[in-house]
Amino acid sequence: MRRALSSVLVLLSSAAWASEGFFQSEVVDAVAVKQAPKGTQDAAWSAAPAKPFSLAPQRTIRLHDKQANAVLQRAGATELVVRAVTTGTELALLLEWADATQDVVREDEVNSYADSAAVQVPVSFGKGQRLPAISMGDDEQPVRLWLQRATKAGSQLTALQAAGFGSSTRQGPATAPQGMMTFDANGKRWRAQFQVPLDAKSALVPVSFAVWEGGVRLERAGNKRLSSWRFVRVPGRTPDADYVASVSWGFGPKELGDAANGKTLVEAICTSCHHVPGRAVAPEGLAPSLVDIGAIATPAYLRESVVAPSAVILFGPNPNQHYDKSAQRDPNGAYPNAEAFQWFTVGPGGKRASKMPSFEKFPPEQLADIVAFLRTLDGRGTP
Ligand code: HEC
C-alpha cells in the first residue's frame, strides 16, 4: 500500500515536472486587461511577459519561383517575441521581430511583396483533440488564420479558415479581423498586433505564428517562416490536466531518448525519402523535408508521424513540378503528375493513406531516440 502510494506520488510529481519545462518554453502567459490594447504601443503591452519563439522556413511545399526558393533554402531561424493580453472574450497578441528593411505595398498591389505576419488557431481544440497540421491545418482539423500585410496606409487584414495548403476560404464578417502593424525604423523591428476571439472556457489556446519578409527575401504565400504550435495560457482558468499531458509530451526530462543514436537511425532508415541536414540524397519532393522539422513540429506530432503516418496526411509538394515525361500526354498535351511524388494513396471510399511506412513496431527506446534527434533540427544550425 505504501509502495503504491509512493509510486502514485512519483508519477504525479514527474507529470508536474514534465509540464514545467513545457510551460517554460512553449507557453505565453496572457495578462488580464479591461480593454483590448489600442495599438502596438499601448501601455498594456509593457505589463505582459515577452516570450521568444523560434521561426523556421516552411519547406514542405514550394512556389514556382526559383529565386525565392533559393533565398528560403539559405534562410535560418528567426526569433519572434510574443506577448498576450486578454479581456476574457478576446485575446490580443503582440508579435515583434527584427527586419532590416520596411517593405510596404499599396493595398491594390499584387506583384510586390509586403512584410507580413499571421497567427493561426485551431477551429476546435482541447481535451481529446489532436493539433492540426502546422501547414494551415488538415481535413479533420481545420484552422482559423489571421493575416496582416504591411501597406502604405498601415496594414491590410484578412481572416481565413483553412484545412491544408491551398484550401483557404475567407471567414465571414462575424470575425472581421482587427489589428495593426508598425515599424520601428531605428530599432529595425516590426510589431504586429492581432485580436482574436476567445471562448468562455479555454484555458490553454494553441497558436502558431508566421512572418514574411517581402523585400530582399521575396517571401509571400507558402514562402514564410513559421513556428510550431505554441500555447497561450488564459489567466484565472485551469488547463485540463489530460490536455496538458497530451500536448506537453516530450518536454519532460526522460521522455525523449538519445539524439545521437536517433541521428544514426534516421540517416540509415529515413533518408531514402527525406532530407535531413547534411544528407539530401532522396529526390527533392519525394517526401517532406525534415531539415528544420524540430522548429515547426511538436514532439508529440513527431512521434505520431513516425508510428502512425496516416494520422495526419500532408498535401504533397506542388505536383505540377514533377511531370512524368515517360507517360502519355493528355488530350491537351500535358504530362500526368509523377506518381512517385504523390505523398499518399487513395483507397476505396476515397480514404487516403500515407506512403510512409509505419515504424510502430520499433522498440520504444529507438522511437524516443528518433524523436530526440528530430527535435534538434530546430533551424538554428541549418542549412
Ligand atoms: C518510403 C518513404 C518514406 C520513408 C522511408 C520515411 N518517410 Fe516520413 N514521410 C513520407 C511521406 C510521403 C510523408 C508525407 C505524407 C504524410 O503525411 O505521412 C512523410 C511524413 C513524415 C513526417 C511529417 C513531416 C511534416 O512536415 O509534417 C515526419 C516527421 C516523418 N515523415 C519522419 C520520418 C522518419 C523519422 C522516418 C524514418 C524512421 C521516415 N519518415 C521514413 C515518406 C517516408
- Mind listing the pLDDT tens digit for each residue in 341-365? 888 888 888 888 899 999 999 999 9
Quote the Cα angle for 203-206-210, to 5°: 145
- For the cut 80, the answer to whether the pLDDT of residue 18 exceeds it is no
Cβ atoms within 10 Å of 31's Cβ, excluding its own: 16
- Mind listing the pLDDT tens digit for each residue in 150-200? 888 888 888 889 887 666 676 654 455 677 899 999 999 999 999 999 999
Longest alpha-carbon distance in the chain:
77
- Mind listing the pLDDT tens digit for each residue in 76-96? 678 999 999 999 999 999 999
Pocket perturbation via mutation, ligand 1, pick of 130, 265, 270, 279 by most ligand atoms within 8 A of CB: 270
Residue 383 is predicted with a pLDDT of: 46
Q: What burial letters (b/e) apply to 155-183, b meaning 16+ CB within 10 Å?
A: bbbebbbbbbbeebeebeeeeebebbbbb
Q: Can you give the pTM of this predicted structure?
A: 0.88
**Res. 220 pLDDT band, cuts 50 70 90:** confident
Residue 210 is predicted with a pLDDT of: 93
- Mind listing the pLDDT tens digit for each residue in 58-80? 776 666 677 777 777 766 678 99
- For the cut 70, the answer to whether the pLDDT of residue 101 exceeds it is yes
| C-alpha distances out from residue 5 to 12, 39, 242, Å | 11, 52, 21
Atom of ligand 1 nearest to the CA of 60: 26
Contact 256, 371 (CB under 8 A): yes
Region 233-250 average pLDDT: 95
Pocket perturbation via mutation, ligand 1, pick of 139, 141, 305 by most ligand atoms within 8 A of CB: 305
Atom of ligand 1 nearest to the CA of 270: 37
- In the structure, which protein residues have their CB atom closer than 6 angstroms to any atom of ligand 1? 60, 266, 269-270, 272-274, 287-288, 290, 293, 297, 302, 305-306, 309, 312-314, 343-344, 354-356, 359, 370
- Mind listing the pLDDT tens digit for each residue in 258-307? 999 999 999 999 999 999 998 989 988 889 989 889 989 999 999 999 99
Residue 4 is predicted with a pLDDT of: 54
Contact 232, 155 (CB under 8 A): no
CA distance 162 to 167: 5
Q: Pick from 142, 155, 237: which is nearest to 194 by CA? A: 155
- The cell for 269 is 532508415
Domains and CATH numbers, the chain: 24-238 (2.60.40.1190), 259-376 (1.10.760)
Nearest CA to ligand 1 atom 1: 356
Lookup result for grid cell 519572434: 80
Task: Using a pLDDT cut of 90, give the percent of the chain over it.
Answer: 50
What's phi and psi for 379, nearest 5 deg? 85, -15
Atom of ligand 1 nearest to the CA of 354: 18
Q: Distance between the two ends of the chain, CA-based, in angstroms?
A: 55
Q: What is the mean pLDDT of the chain?
A: 85
Q: 247 CA to middle of ligand 1, Å?
A: 21
Atom of ligand 1 nearest to the CA of 355: 12
- For the cut 70, the answer to whether the pLDDT of residue 223 exceeds it is yes
Q: 189 CA to middle of ligand 1, Å?
A: 36
